[in-house]
Amino acid sequence: MSGTFVGMPAFPRPTHPAFPPFPEAAAEAVGNATLRGNLRHATHTIRAKRARAVAEVSDWAELREAGRRIKDHTLRHLDRYLVQLEESVTAAGGTVHWAADADEANRIVTRLVKETGESEVVKVKSMATQEIGLNEALLEEGIHAYETDLAELIVQLGRDRPSHILVPAIHRNRGEIRDIFAKEMGAWGRPAPEGLTDTPAELAEAARLHLREKFLRAKVGISGANFMVAETGTLVVVESEGNGRMCLTLPETLISVVGIEKVVPTWRDLEVFLQTLPRSATAERMNPYTSTWTGTTDGDGPSAFHLILLDNGRTDTLADRVGRQALRCIRCSACLNVCPVYERAGGHAYGSVYPGPIGAILSPQLRGTASEIDASLPYASSLCGACYEVCPVAIDIPEVLVHLRERVAEGGPAVREGNRVLLKPAKGHAAERAAVRAARWALTHPGALRTGQRLASRTRRLHPRTLPGPGRAWTGTRDLPPVPAEPFRDWWQRTRGGEDEAK
């Protein structure tokens, strides 16, 4: 790989075929007691704080509904608002680029950085740039991208992958972070202080000193955005550390890579999301740093601003009437913190920059369900519904999961790369389809259903606790539910039948 140097990680650009299916990755993760302990402590702490922050707001349900309506309205008229956004950004002195996929976005960013003559960039935390593998694409061209968010810095120094939307290094404890800083910082820039301990203050100070020289030296900054305002061309980034403010104001050139679904129509719409996002994400009434910028201004901030509007599967997702609600997501991560599956398996098991419940419905739509990992993600859930209850924009994640499971098991019409296609059923679901067909037949033939229930009850002592063959996938981690001694229909007839006849 060209452009590498001692200490710079040279791992390949992540692609989903490299990841095992979710059941395999999760089975390995649940065997890691340290990982499970880190996740349990962090998620329980975050969700308890969130619950208290949300309880302070008397009109939370109304705010949630307002957020849902704003997002749905914007998605229905996305073409109009994106054109308005482009006109507003251009009028304010910025330049807008359109990227149909990850490769095109990476080519645009690489070209823009090369045109400045620089070989280093500083980055605000951005899931969109992680989604497209921008750091790796830049590295192939000899450009070194430095993450400046504390958690992203930990992940980058540890040659690791993010495992949480809000707290990418949630799977690491303080001792592990200290060891990473002590071992790796010197190869990337200013080394960690001698005798560094694992106290939060010392770790934060080590990161601050390490990053400060990069902020002061960098001529190019790369960001994402939480929101884009169509009426003014304003971009918004909310964060808690101040690194974003440094990246957005100090460099001479700012390049923002943003998914097209992040647009909102007006400034007034921000009123809703700037209340719901911080409470759902960091359990704060407002973010410590809310940065907004509109184009360029002489003598204030970057002199050149480029906005790259990223599709990369989003318009395909928009074409799905059920699945499109995933595009409402404001990346708060509340669904991860309440999910019992995520708490035990961790983010790496999802094989995507988007982990947890939202990743289980977003990644298979952005990337398709052709690979084993993407075909397995809709099943990475217990369908308990906790994710829907906490979502600040009311995404019905269980509904989309069931919808995607049907697509995986049955195939059917879908849109891929702008074209309508007919998907084939994924491999490994023949037994499931046969079972569903058998259930459909039985439920439409009451006599056969009644006979089967009575037979199952009378032979219940002979039933195994696990299933053979394909059924082992179900009973490998759970026992079969016991069959009652008497079917419900017979019980009802015996205990209530006389009353019904008398009436």
pLDDT of residue 4: 32
pLDDT tens-digit map of 117-143? 999 999 999 999 999 999 999 999 999
Identify whether the C-beta of residue 109 lies closer than 8 Å to the C-beta of residue 299: no
Rounded to an integer, what is the distance from CA 420 to the centroid of its chain?
26
Question: Is 145's pLDDT higher than 80?
Answer: yes
| Dihedral angle computed from the Cα positions of residues 246, 248, 253 and 258, in that order, rounded to the nearest 10 degrees | 140
As a whole-number percent, the residues of the chain with pLDDT over 70 amount to: 95
Question: Is 101's pLDDT higher than 90?
Answer: yes
Identify whether the C-beta of residue 263 lies closer than 8 Å to the C-beta of residue 80: no
Average pLDDT over residues 257-263: 98
DSSP 279: H
> Three-state SS for 96?
strand
DSSP 160: -
Average pLDDT over residues 313-335: 97
Q: Is the dihedral of CA 61, 63, 67, 70 positive or negative?
A: positive
Take residue 347 and report the two structure tokens written for it.
């983010």
Half-sphere exposure (Cβ direction) of 189: Cα atoms closer than 13 Å = 23
DSSP 357-368: HHHHHHHHHHH-
Identify whether the C-beta of residue 156 lies closer than 8 Å to the C-beta of residue 184: no
Maximum separation of any 2 CA atoms in the chain, in Å = 91
Packing angle, helices 60-76 and 78-91, rounded to 10 = 90
Nearest alpha carbon to residue 81 among 197, 233, 224:
233
Residues 6+ apart with CB under 8 A from 220: 113, 116, 118, 120, 121, 122, 251, 252, 253, 254, 255
Would you place residue 500 in the very low, low, confident or very high pLDDT band (cuts 50, 70, 90)?
low
User: How far apart (Å, rounded) are the C-alpha atoms in residues 11 and 139?
Assistant: 10
Rounded to an integer, what is the distance from CA 355 to the centroid of its chain?
5
Question: Is 181's pLDDT higher than 60?
Answer: yes
Identify whether the C-beta of residue 380 lies closer than 8 Å to the C-beta of residue 350: yes
Which range (27-31, 222-226, 249-253, 384-388) has the least confidence? 27-31
> Three-state SS for 142?
coil
Identify whether the C-beta of residue 66 lies closer than 8 Å to the C-beta of residue 271: no
Take residue 73 and report the two structure tokens written for it.
């309205």
Q: Between the CA of residue 430 and those of 422, 426, 470, what are the distances in Å? A: 18, 9, 9
Sheet holding 253-259, edge to edge: 95-99, 304-310, 253-259, 220-223, 120-123, 144-147
User: How far apart (Å, rounded) are the C-alpha atoms in residues 192 and 207?
Assistant: 8
pLDDT tens-digit map of 20-52? 999 999 999 999 998 999 999 999 999 999 999
Is residue 199 classed exposed, middle or buried when 0-12, 13-18 and 19+ CB atoms within 10 A define those classes? exposed
